[in-house]
Amino acid sequence: MAKRTTKPKKNENSDNENPNAHIQGAGLVQEQPITKTLELNFMPYAISVILSRAIPEIDGFKPSHRKLLYTMYNMGLLKGARIKSANIVGRTMQLNPHGDASIYDTMVRLSRGNEALLHPFVDSKGNFGKAYSRNMAYAASRYTEAKLEAICAELFGDIDKDTVDFVPNYDNSMQEPTLLPVSFPNILCNCNLGIAVGMTSNICSFNLREICEATEALIKDEQADISSIIKGPDFVGGGKILYDHRTFNEIYENGRGSVKVRAVYEYDKANNCIDIKQIPPTTTSEAIIDKVIELVKANKAREIADIRDETDKTGLKITIDLKRGAGADADRLMNRLYRTTPLEDSFGCNFNILVGGTLMVLGVRGILIEWIGFRMECVTRRVIFDLNKAKKRLHLLEGLSLILLDIDKAIKIVRETEVEAEVVPNLMIGFGIDEVQAEYVAEIKLRHLNREYILKRLEDIDDLKKAIADMEDILGNKRRVKKIIIDELRAVSKKYGMDRRSEIVYDNDDDIIEEEDVVDAYPVTFFFTKEGYFKKITPQSLRMSANHKLKEGDEIISEIEADNSYELLFFSDKCQVYKAKADDFKDTKASSLGDYVAGVLGADEGENIIAMIPLKEYEGNMLFFFENGKAAKVDIKTYETKTNRKKLLNAYSDKSPLVALFFAPRDDMFKIGTTNGRYLLVNSAMIPQKTTKNTQGVQAITLRKNHFVKEVVRSDGSEFVNAKRYMSKNIPAAGAVLAAEDQGRQISLLDE
């Protein structure tokens, strides 16, 4: 039975009258501007991610961190023994309903065992993986145990004194804090990475002692020079930080910049190996090993015999075994590896944080100033809480003092009152006290209704009055609030401060390495063929086999002995030159075709490489000879570039077809042959030097109509019986027809 479909009726005005339309197979489709879709659907999601998930707040935590730590605090894990991580994860889901996997991931990163934070918050037991290794995975939550580190006391010390606001959790079953009343600038003491929608936050860690000292300086003077206190970032994995005054100042003031971090190594002379014990925080040991192996396979680190990961319980260790005789070059090898592997990497700082629900990009100074304001509010709210509590206590004790005047009267009132509900009103009437005081007196146990107990309680009145006066003075004096914060900062610094783990390197001279030092300059021979194939072969390989494999019809047109540190200029038939380094090409054998240069260097379609010029230094001239008889001499320095440009346009003139090009380190003699059998010997000193690459040059040989230059080769004139016959004192010159005595000795293109 055929399936029946109902076609919608056509409506000429449907586009104007009804924005909804039925599309077969798609159902009802509602037209809506993309801007409205973004506003209604995407923007709420983006705002939620930014404000409630990815970006840290002024206390240094994202919501997921805060929910986990607060749950552990409520579980009593600040003191006592560790418990199974699975138990903690399950309890945390009362505040964070995003799944146990994400909660456990958060716990792992906060743990001491993972070594991701300079000041970890979770005291861990078991396998929590390592932040510097992608292969060392952490164990499941049922196998590990955890509790809070001692430093967490600085996070929750005043949380029960109304220092921060509380809000209901996702199902209104309990309350959770919006911030933690941290007593030190935690936001700058641990690395924090957050990826939101359209923005990221990447905060590097600083030394706690330096941060506390800088905060104290800013409390005393907002214009204090914090750069003289904070030496630079301090990473949990150590490393050497290359000092850059401009970059550091940009981070301190604007919160953006890129910090270069190097690995730290030791050379073991006895075993002829390099031990790497600290690496940048942005990489892993596996990434470093993979890159080094890649360099070894490409013959760019020939000193390396082996590399392996020897990380154990004592910490990170990557060992590089050196070949015999390479020990003296360990520092040079590491300098090269710094430039070509993640052993030197950059930490990109982007201090995006939330302050009072507002997204801000602040420098270290700005963050510390905002934290000071936040902490002053916390301390003020704590003092207000303690003040109100003290006033309530004083009020109760003042009511109790009135009972002391006649204890028997109080007992009589309670005993003679027939209805329980009238006890409090009768005490209020009998002693002239208010309901709160009367309720307090009525709740005193019978055994405490004696003069001794009441007198002991009343001894607290004077102390309470002094405390209340002191707290009221604090609230009216910002200096005293700041003094409290400073005292707390000093206590935290003394108790939890550590020496710097990352060394600041102020002298970066070793970072400037000449290219010839970077490349291993071992001897090689360059071969370039007519079809554009390039081979780089070592002498050892040539001794084993010197028989070249070539494409049918191809031939070698250049064979030059050099070394691996040379630069190569490849000229094309499109008047372009491609720059490369010999080290960019792999060593090969004579039995291979070699590298097709046009493909390797990304030449244009239909473009052919016609010549290879190896250079040790940019000294000498390039000589170009054209069919119209002109010759151009261009200073080779014209092709030298300070940047790593791989392609130069207008490498030579395109006004006439090119016959030949040569690199002449010094002036030399060249033989020019024409299609009408005339020859001219020209010394390159007669050709004026130009500084423009695409110059047309000067006329070297005069040509008769319908004739042109056919060949140009280097020559010392020995192929002629009388070489002076073909020379001229000036150019242009017509040259001379081949003499009878030179017939048979001269091989020209006309004879082919």
Q: At residue 373, does pLDDT exceed 90?
A: yes
Annotated active-site residue 45? The verdict is no
Q: Which CATH number fits domain 264-342: 3.30.1360.40, 3.90.1660.10, 1.10.3720.10, 3.10.20.740?
A: 3.30.1360.40
Say if strands 503-505 and 240-242 run parallel, antiparallel, or are unpaired.
parallel
Taking the C-alpha atoms of residue 36 and residue 43, their distance in angstroms, rounded to an integer, is 10
Choice among 70, 104, 138, 143 that is catalytic: 143
Q: How confident is the model at residue 283 (pLDDT cuts 50, 70, 90)?
A: very high
Residue among 103, 83, 68, 67 nearest 146 (CA): 83
- Under 8 Å CB-to-CB from 287, ≥6 apart: which residues? 134, 342
Taking the C-alpha atoms of residue 631 and residue 636, their distance in angstroms, rounded to an integer, is 15
- Under 8 Å CB-to-CB from 135, ≥6 apart: which residues? 286
Which tops the pLDDT comparison, 336 or 24? 336
Mean pLDDT of the chain: 88
649 CB neighbour count, 10 Å cutoff: 10
pLDDT digits (tens, 9 = 90+) for 584-626: 888 888 888 899 998 888 888 889 999 999 998 899 999 999 9
Domain boundaries, the chain: 61-181, 264-342, 514-616, 620-636+655-752
Taking the C-alpha atoms of residue 544 and residue 407, their distance in angstroms, rounded to an integer, is 117
- pTM of the full structure: 0.69
Q: Which two tokens stand for residue 398?
A: 């003042």
Residue among 597, 576, 575, 560 nearest 645 (CA): 576
Decide if 61-181 and 620-636+655-752 have a common fold: no
Confidence at residue 507, expressed as pLDDT on a 0 to 100 scale: 67
Q: Which two tokens stand for residue 648?
A: 């130069």
CATH of domain 514-616: 2.120.10.90
**Domain 620-636+655-752: what homologous superfamily?**
DNA gyrase/topoisomerase IV, subunit A, C-terminal (2.120.10.90)
Alpha carbon 318 to its chain's center: 21
pLDDT digits (tens, 9 = 90+) for 706-744: 899 999 999 888 888 888 888 888 889 988 888 888 776
Q: At residue 642, does pLDDT exceed 70?
A: no
pLDDT digits (tens, 9 = 90+) for 514-533: 444 456 778 999 999 999 99
Tell which CATH architecture fits domain 61-181. Alpha-Beta Complex (3.90)
